[in-house]
Amino acid sequence: MQAKSFQLFPEAASSIAGQVDALYAFMVLISAFFSLIIAFLIIFFAIKYRHRPGIKPTFKPADDHSIGGMVLEIVWTAIPLAISMVMFVWGVSIYFTESRPPADSMEIYVTGKQWMWKVQHMEGAREINELHIPINRNIKLTMTSEDVLHDFFIPAFRTKADVLPGKYTTEWFRPTQTGAFHIFCAEYCGTKHSGMIGTVYVMNEADYTVWLAAGSGEGSIAEQGQSLFNQLGCGNCHYSNVNNGIGRGPNLNGLYGSKVDLKDGTSVKADESYIRESVLNPQAKIVAGFDDYMPTFKGQISDEGMLKLIAYVKSLGLKYGAPNTATPGTVSTSATAPTAGRPAAKAATSVSATPVAGNK
Ligand code: CUA
C-alpha cells in the first residue's frame, strides 16, 4: 500500500469527509457566483458608460451624496447575512461533530516531536510515522508534543488538530475506505516541518487484529504503565486494593473521568491533562482531605511514560470494592500491595490466622 504522490483533491475516506466537502463546495459556489456577477457588471458598465467624444457628463456630485433607498439597503444587508449564517451554522455543526469523540471510540496515543510522529496503541504496539487502524471503527487520538506546536492532519479524513507540549488534545474519525493515506504536520515547527509526514493504513478488521497482535510483545500500555507506577513508587501513597484504598495520597480507582473536589473548594474533571499536571506539578491542585505531600516527578517521566501512566490510571476504571469489569487493557489493581507495607502485613496476618483457628 503506497500513498498516492500527487492529487489535486484528497480522497474522501472518513465518515465526516462528505459533509466537509459539501460545505466546502457550497462556499466555493457562493464565492464563484458573486465573483462572476461582480466581474461581469464591472466590464458591462465600463463599456456601457464609457466616455464618448461630444457627450458631457450629467452627474452632479454635490447633489447626489445622500441618494439611497431603505429597501435596497435592507436587501443587500439581509441576503449576505442569511448566506453567511448558513455557512456559520453548517460549519458549527460539523465542528461540533468533529470535536466530540463518540463514547465507543478506540483510543490511540500520538506524540509529536521534531520531526516525527510516535504512535502508541493501547494493546502495546508502537509505530513511528505510521498509523494502522481498522476500517469502520471510531478512532480517537489523544495527542501531545515533546517540544513545540505541531498539528496532526489527515487530509483524506478531513480532520486535524493542534498538538501541544504540556497538554492533551484529541481528534477522532471513522475511516470508511481501506488503503494508505497521508499524514501531515500542518503547523510550521522548524526546519524539517515539511518532512514531518507519515502514512495512515486503514485495514479490514481481520488484518488489523493480526497486525496488532504482532506488535504487542511488550504488553498493553496500561500494563507498561503499571510497571512504571511501581518503579516510581507511586503505590507507596496511592493504595488501590489495600487498606480500603486509603493512603497518604488519594485512591486512584475510578479516578479517570470523575469529578474531583479540591482543597480550595473548587472541583476539576479528572482528564488526561489533570493527571499529567498532578504528577508533574502536584501542588497545583490538592485534593480535598489530603495534604501537600507529593514531590514532583518532573524530569523523571518522558511524555511516552506519562501516556503509559495515564493509561494505567484509566484502566483502574472502578471505585474500590466494585467488580472488575473494565475495558480491555485493564490490569489487576492489586499490584501495589507489596509496596504498601502496613496494610499488606495486616492482610497476611488475617490469612495465616485461619488455619490456626481451624486447628482448635
Ligand atoms: Cu511538526 Cu510541523
DSSP states of 42-56 as a string?
HHHHHHHT---TT--
pTM of the full structure: 0.65
Confirm or reject: Cβ of 188 under 6 Å from ligand 1: yes
12: its cell numbers:
474522501
**Minimum CA distance residue for ligand 1 atom 1:** 150
- 235-291 pLDDT per residue, tens: 777 876 666 667 778 888 878 888 888 888 888 888 888 888 888 888 888 888 888
Could you tell me the distance, in angstroms and rounded to a whole number, from the CA of residue 111 to the centre of ligand 1? 12
Q: In what order do the strands lie in the sheet with 116-121?
A: 126-128, 116-121, 106-113, 139-145, 169-173
| Rounded CA separation 316/123 (Å) | 16
Could you tell me the distance, in angstroms and rounded to a whole number, from the CA of residue 143 to the centre of ligand 1? 13
Give pLDDT, residue 328. Answer: 40
- Quick one: which atom of ligand 1 is closest to the CA of 187? 2
User: Among the listed ranges 13-17, 210-214, 339-343, which one has the minimum average pLDDT value?
Assistant: 339-343
- 27-82 pLDDT per residue, tens: 999 999 999 999 999 999 999 888 888 777 666 665 555 667 888 889 989 999 99
- Percent of the chain predicted with pLDDT > 90: 41
How sure is the predictor about 91, in pLDDT bands with cuts at 50, 70 and 90?
Answer: very high
- Quick one: which atom of ligand 1 is closest to the CA of 190? 2
Confirm or reject: Cβ of 123 under 6 Å from ligand 1: no
Peptide bond into 117 cis (omega under 30): no
Q: Which residues contact 331 (CB under 8 A, 6 or more apart)?
A: 220, 222, 223, 226, 312, 315
- Percent of the chain predicted with pLDDT > 70: 80
Q: Is the pLDDT of residue 87 over 80?
A: yes
Give pLDDT, residue 25. Answer: 93
